[in-house]
Structure 1
Amino acid sequence: MGKVSDLKVYNDVELLAGWVLDISANFPKQYRYITERLVNTIFDCMDDITLANLREGTERAMFLDAFVVHFTSVKTILRVCTRKRILSVNNEALFLRSSANIGRQIAGWKRAALNQNR
């Protein structure tokens, strides 16, 4: 268990969080609740990675599952924002490319955590 900032997945999510902050600053004020929810949820993802890094085995897998739930919420919020034309299709596509890589990293980490208990 090293420093969380040494984890590639953490750094990738941190970059994505910065991107979310940048794009959400341009959301119309009438969607302030969505903006807050989006920003809070991406930071929840970072918390989940931090907590998973502090645990081992099934406890780690539990926090990685929480990450998947939060990250799915981020994807859903962005998809709704694209449908409402708050977010461009190009921005959503950029996010989806990054999220696929992050998803693979989390899935691999979870497999390793669960195999650790065997």
Structure 2
Amino acid sequence: MGKANDLKVYNDVELLAGWVLDLSGNFPKQYRYLAQRLVNVTFDCMDDITLANLREGTERAMFLDAFVVHFTSLKTILRICTRKRIVSVGNEAFFLRSSANIGRQIAGWKRATLNQNR
């Protein structure tokens, strides 16, 4: 196994984490808990990728599933923030473009992992 930060998907999520950190700094005071949740879930996603990279077979698939759960949570929080007008529609669009790319990479990685076990 190579290092997680050698993976394109890890680097893409790391860039997204920087964007989330910048974005969360602009949240109104009454929504700071949402900003912190966004940051935490983003770093959970990075942890999931790192752990998946260290494992093989069904254990890897398990961490990729955990990534999907965390990433879905991230998308949901951002969607709610957009509806509350905490996050602009333009920022949400940027996130959705990034998340589609990341989602394809994770799906491909999981598919390859499951095919290796057959």
Task: Pick the TM interval, shorter chain.
Answer: over 0.9
Provide the secondary structure at the position in 1 that maps to 2:112: helix
What TM-score do you get using the length of structure 1 for normalisation? 0.99
CA distance in 2, matches of 1:116, 1:57: 7
Runs of 4+ in 1 over 3 A off after TM superposition: none
1:32 Cα deviation from its structure 2 partner: 1.2
Q: 1:84-106 CA deviation, whole Å, 9 max, x = no partner? A: 00000000000000000000000
2:3 matched to which residue of 1?
3
CA distance in 1, matches of 2:113, 2:29: 42
Percent identity among equivalent residues?
A: 87
1:21 Cα deviation from its structure 2 partner: 0.2
Over aligned residue pairs, what C-alpha RMSD do you find? 0.4
Q: Which runs of 5+ in 1 are unaligned?
A: none
1:37 matched to which residue of 2?
37
2:16 matched to which residue of 1?
16
Q: 1:48-97 CA deviation, whole Å, 9 max, x = no partner? A: 00000000111101000000000000000000000000000000000000
Provide the secondary structure at the position in 1 that maps to 2:87: coil
2:87 matched to which residue of 1?
87
1:104 matched to which residue of 2?
104
1:116 Cα deviation from its structure 2 partner: 1.1
Letter of the 2:100 counterpart = A
2:113 matched to which residue of 1?
113
- The alignment covers a number of residue pairs equal to 118
CA distance in 2, matches of 1:21, 1:115: 36
1:46 Cα deviation from its structure 2 partner: 0.1
Q: Which runs of 5+ in 2 are unaligned?
A: none
Q: 1:4-49 CA deviation, whole Å, 9 max, x = no partner? A: 1100000000000000000110000111111111100000000000
